[in-house]
Chain A
Amino acid sequence: MPQDPAERRVTVTGPPRRTGRASGYYRPRTEIDEQTTLGHTYVRSLMRSQLRAGLTVLAVLGLLVGPLPLLFAALPDARGLEWAVLGFGLYAPLVLLARWYVRRAERNERDFVRLVEDR
């Protein structure tokens, strides 16, 4: 096949799975790399902080959006309000929530890297 460039261009092989190699060479972050109990504790702490950030934003989203259908049902005459809120008002808060989350998640990761490397 390598002789025929057209054929080589179109050949697809699926990603080999479960064929990873053992850790290559020794690094300072061996606890994580070699999956010791201490390494797992580190990973868990990162997951917890990231999950907390996600759940915080989800809670804010729920509090922001959740009562709206009830509000609109309670105020059937406030059609203009419903148009304004659903049509134009919610997109900016969604983007701001997303930006806040990304900043927090990236800070969590930076703190984690610093923790692991300074150890």
Chain B
Amino acid sequence: MNSSYAIPAVALVVVATVLVGAFGLRISRTTSDFYVASRTVGPRLNAAAISGEYLSAASFLGIAGLVLVQGPDMLWYPVGYTAGYLVLLLFVAAPLRRSGAYTLPDFAEARLASQGVRRLAGAFVVGVGWLYLLPQLQGAGLTLNVLSGAPDWLGGVIVAVVVTAIVAAGGMRSITFVQAFQFWLKLTALLVPAFFLVLAWQADGAPGRPFDEPATFREQRSVRVDDSLTLKLDEPLTVTVDGTVDGRAHDGDRVALPAGTHRIEAGARLVFAADTPVPAAGHGADDALSPSRAESRTERPLYATYGLILATFLGTMGLPHVVVRFYTSPHGVAARRTTVAVLGLIGAFYLLPPLYGALGRLYAPELTLTGDADAAVLLLPDRVIGGVGGDLLGALVAGGAFAAFLSTASGLTMAVAGVLTQDVLPSRAVRHFRLGTLLAMAVPLVASALVGGLPVADAVGLAFAVSASSFCPLLVLGIWWRRLTPPGAAAGMLVGGGSALLAVAATMGGFPGGGGSLHALLAWPALWSVPLGFLTMVLVSLATPGRVPAGTAAILARFHLPEELGAEELRPDDPDPHVKAVP
């Protein structure tokens, strides 16, 4: 791919992000400005900011790649990412804003008056945040690698440096502007190329085979295999091979491969004839461990689909960078209306990735074999349109992808740094917030260098599962159930979130291997770990009735009463409205 336009586009996005951030910095004056933009962000700006922050590398690149490789089942990801906001709206949005807490740990402490639960919630915020930051940095590395052949780590380092600088310098107010700007940038970066891609597709005679299963090569296509892989053939396949297959070297021979499993060594070049179905590929032994990339649709049980639905529907409300945004709404009613606007914005955005996935199946089916499916969105303009126009559109997409990494990473860094500053580092001065920012970004950056190729969608799915099993019970029961106690909340978070974390860690680590129902249970924990978290929280709370915090009734009243009835509006002169009504 021609990078002469793409690199300047990425540079432009980075510079524009810094400039918009600096504009916010000039008006970031007080403590409250610094953390929650003084709670004066209107629904429209805030909705664009929330959406901009939410649409990450997984949305911008990952969905199209997954759909390309695995077909329409993977469209449950964007549906779940969107529906998660509906569930958040139903049970959390307005009460969370009225609780007046800055972060999830603040919420836990305000509701349960317990330092222990606060620290536990803080630990989960940091853990989920780091899990979610990892794929952003890796996505940035992949993008820059595809565009310019730069080493894998460079993109991640660029994102890390820019985000750390913006967050440490400007805090939330500048992030609000940055995020809102980046939502529109991301939407444009997918919408404009999509328009031209569809035109090109029509000019091509509108071939209508993207929905066929499996995808087929439309014309003769030569595929270079960079990492050795395993092909699983349901039917015999004839290819021209230049390289090593099943341990035998070939030099441009036509080889008839029988049905079964075949090993292609790195560096081999395969030439597929037109109308050959694209074979299913696995990348070495590791691939079987990856829940999203694992195997074909026949091997992914229905259970996994329901696990994915539950994790995304319930996990959204507990993502640290999502929750912190609701504190910037001026009141509970605005928080609700903001959420509706967010649903509309991200719903509109998610109409586009499936289009790229479908066109990718048509025009770039060999990406399934090369293991670069996440790059489909970046490569399609060049592949389908070509010429200078294709290069320019490709540059626009690349800029949008970088906007995705920057915006999600800055929101996550903000949330993680907030927790580190308030609960780990000794004092709460802004100087320490800057230290916290550095720490918040350094850990995932090092981890991304050490761990390497964890697929983008997997790490994100893991973060959702952990969040759904720990923070979802805490928020829902904390807001709606009077008898929640600190021991119950702590036990529920530990058992639910902890078991989800262990299950996925075990899967990633190769246990129990092989497949089968135990494998599926561990790879998609949400279906059992969410009920487990709720159940533990309820049972332990019922077993410790004496520990119900004294002010529970007043706190719940504050969560649910409209502002016009609460104490806040009646005393506008009070400097600290969010601590009102705490007895």
A20 touches B581 (CB 8 A): yes
Which of B347, B354, B578 lies in contact with A92, CB distance below 8 A?
B347
Give the tally of cross-chain contacts (CB within 8 A).
Answer: 166
A58 touches B87 (CB 8 A): yes
Report the minimal beta-carbon distance from A87 to chain B, rounded to whole angstroms: 4
B578 touches A15 (CB 8 A): yes
In Å, the complex CA distance between A31 and B212 comes to: 65
- Which residues of B are found within 8 Å of A91, using beta-carbon distances? 79, 82, 343, 347-348, 350-351
Known contacts A87-B351, A102-B340; decide if A24 and B571 are in contact (CB<8 Å).
yes
Identify the closest chain B residue to A100 (Cβ): B340
- Which residues of A are found within 8 Å of B556, using beta-carbon distances? 43, 47
B428 touches A15 (CB 8 A): no
- Which residues of A are found within 8 Å of B76, using beta-carbon distances? 69, 86
Report the minimal beta-carbon distance from B231 to chain A, rounded to whole angstroms: 23
- Taken residue by residue from 102 to 113, chain A's Cβ proximity to chain B (1 for < 8 Å, 0 otherwise) reads as 100110010011
Q: How large is the interface on B (under 10, 10 to 19, 20 to 34, 35 or more residues)?
A: 35 or more
In Å, the complex CA distance between A72 and B94 comes to: 36
A80 touches B90 (CB 8 A): no
Q: How many residues of A contact B (CB 8 A)?
A: 60
Known contacts A73-B302, A80-B211, A98-B340; decide if A15 and B557 are in contact (CB<8 Å).
no
Known contacts A15-B578, A43-B556, A101-B89; decide if A95 and B344 are in contact (CB<8 Å).
yes
Identify the closest chain B residue to A62 (Cβ): B313
Q: Which B residues are closer than 8 A to A by beta carbons?
A: 29-31, 34-35, 71-73, 75-76, 79, 82-83, 85-87, 89-91, 94, 100-102, 106, 109-110, 113, 211-213, 302, 305-306, 309, 333, 336-337, 339-340, 343-344, 347-348, 350-351, 354-355, 358, 421-422, 428-431, 433, 480, 553-554, 556-557, 560-562, 564-565, 567, 570-571, 576, 578-583
Could you list 12 examples of A-B contacts with CB < 8 Å? A11-B31, A19-B579, A24-B570, A29-B565, A40-B557, A46-B561, A53-B90, A82-B73, A88-B351, A95-B340, A98-B86, A109-B562
Q: Which A residues are closer than 8 A to B by beta carbons?
A: 9-20, 23-24, 27, 29, 32-33, 35, 39-40, 43, 46-47, 50-51, 53-55, 57-58, 61, 65, 69-70, 72-73, 79-80, 82-83, 86-88, 90-92, 94-95, 97-99, 101-102, 105-106, 109, 112-113, 116
**Known contacts A12-B421, A33-B567, A47-B556; 17 further A-B pairs (Cβ under 8 A):** A12-B31, A12-B34, A15-B578, A16-B576, A18-B113, A24-B567, A24-B571, A32-B565, A47-B560, A54-B90, A61-B83, A69-B309, A87-B72, A87-B358, A91-B347, A98-B85, A116-B565
